[in-house]
Chain A
């Protein structure tokens, strides 16, 4: 069995990504391009918060972690381990869609790899979220292909968003010198490098269908730092807003 420290580190990274992106995507609620999409995108944002909660619960119940709500809403910014990708403000819907596409495929390969993890709670969670992630990536693929094929403007905006986002998305797979080898050896998960390559294999065929060009991954520099607690200036205001109600009275029972 691998050490609690290594498992805890991995779970916090995964959960913080889900929580912060779930919050970001929920900022579109009521502002989505059409009602149907507003509902779909909000619902998927909610799913992400659900994934974060499930992971915080694993920390709490299996690894002696804090209560999930307190852990989510009361930590200082430097204790968060989310990637910079999920912190970025929404900007346009083109960026949000590409981020959703790149992140949810990354999420999918990660949870798939946990299906036969030596850490049992991962197996159960992986089974539970499988159907949701299938829908999320179906949604993302359909939108990316539709918008890229719709018009010249749509195509140009999708390609620009992809170019602008790919280095941030590659940052999801920031290696961890301290814990990764242990987790791989203990068969908890296959490690960031393996997941990164599986991710590229997943997104590439969709991009081909949309006639979008994947930038040469050798030439981009993945945006690292988030996993070590270094964040963009966008995270602090988000955390403040997200925890605002909870922190009015941290002892309140909901």
Chain B
């Protein structure tokens, strides 16, 4: 199965016999980097998407035009997607009961009344 795409990422695997084991050699495929965008100094970097790149330097170069050419931006981070540790999808049940534990919700504490009372008493 040959692929006529101009995109080198598409051609690179040289898909042959469908039953053969596909082995990707080191350096054959570019890495995926997650991009984090900072809107102003001191603000959090927020995840905005990803780019393909052969190394972190070029990932930054690509991220700049990809994610920072319109919106205001003062800095970018790039992190190799493979370096991110995440929970498995099936571990989602760990988070299941959160909604019932609303006593952990800081908004649940009604303190304004007490604060106002305290202020008046002064």
Which residues of A are at the interface with B, using a C-beta cutoff of 8 A?
Answer: 31, 33-37, 39-40, 43-44, 135, 138-139, 142-143, 146, 150
Interface residues contributed by chain B, number (CB under 8 Å): 19
How many pairs of residues, A versus B, come closer than 8 Å at their CB atoms? 41
Distance between Cα atoms of A146 and B60 in the complex (Å): 13
Distance between Cα atoms of A143 and B61 in the complex (Å): 9
Q: Point out the residues of chain B lying under 8 angstroms from A150, CB to CB.
A: 27, 54
* B65 touches which of A40, A142, A146 (Cβ 8 Å): A40
B58 touching A146, Cβ below 8 Å = yes
B66 touching A39, Cβ below 8 Å = yes
Other contacts beyond A40-B61, A143-B58: 9, CB < 8 A: A35-B7, A39-B62, A39-B65, A40-B64, A138-B61, A142-B57, A146-B54, A146-B58, A150-B54
B54 touching A36, Cβ below 8 Å = no
Closest 7 CB pairs of A and B: A36-B62, A40-B65, A43-B65, A142-B57, A139-B61, A36-B51, A142-B61
Distance between Cα atoms of A135 and B66 in the complex (Å): 13
Minimum distance in angstroms from A30 CB to a CB of chain B: 9
A37 touching B64, Cβ below 8 Å = no
B58 touching A142, Cβ below 8 Å = yes
A-B contact pairs, 28 of them (CB 8 A): A33-B8, A34-B30, A34-B52, A35-B7, A35-B52, A36-B53, A36-B62, A36-B66, A37-B62, A39-B62, A39-B65, A39-B66, A40-B61, A40-B62, A40-B64, A40-B66, A43-B69, A44-B65, A135-B64, A138-B61, A139-B61, A142-B57, A142-B58, A143-B58, A143-B61, A146-B55, A146-B58, A150-B27
A34 touching B65, Cβ below 8 Å = no
Residue from B6, B8, B27 with most neighbouring chain A CB atoms (10 Å): B6
A135 to B, closest residue via Cβ: B64
Is residue B9 contacting chain A, with contact meaning CB distance below 8 A? yes
Distance between Cα atoms of A39 and B8 in the complex (Å): 16
Minimum distance in angstroms from A103 CB to a CB of chain B: 17
Minimum distance in angstroms from A146 CB to a CB of chain B: 6
Residue from A34, A36, A138 with most neighbouring chain B CB atoms (10 Å): A36
A140 to B, closest residue via Cβ: B61
Q: Point out the residues of chain B lying under 8 angstroms from A139, CB to CB.
A: 61
B7 touching A34, Cβ below 8 Å = yes
B52 touching A31, Cβ below 8 Å = no
Q: Point out the residues of chain A lying under 8 angstroms from B8, CB to CB.
A: 33-34
Minimum distance in angstroms from B88 CB to a CB of chain A: 30
Known: A31-B6, A34-B30. Is A146-B57 also a contact (CB below 8 A)? yes
Minimum distance in angstroms from A32 CB to a CB of chain B: 9
Q: Point out the residues of chain B lying under 8 angstroms from A39, CB to CB.
A: 62, 65-66
B65 to A, closest residue via Cβ: A40
Q: Point out the residues of chain A lying under 8 angstroms from B58, CB to CB.
A: 142-143, 146
Minimum distance in angstroms from A157 CB to a CB of chain B: 15
Contact with A along B75-113 (1 / 0, CB 8 A): 000000000000000000000000000000000000000
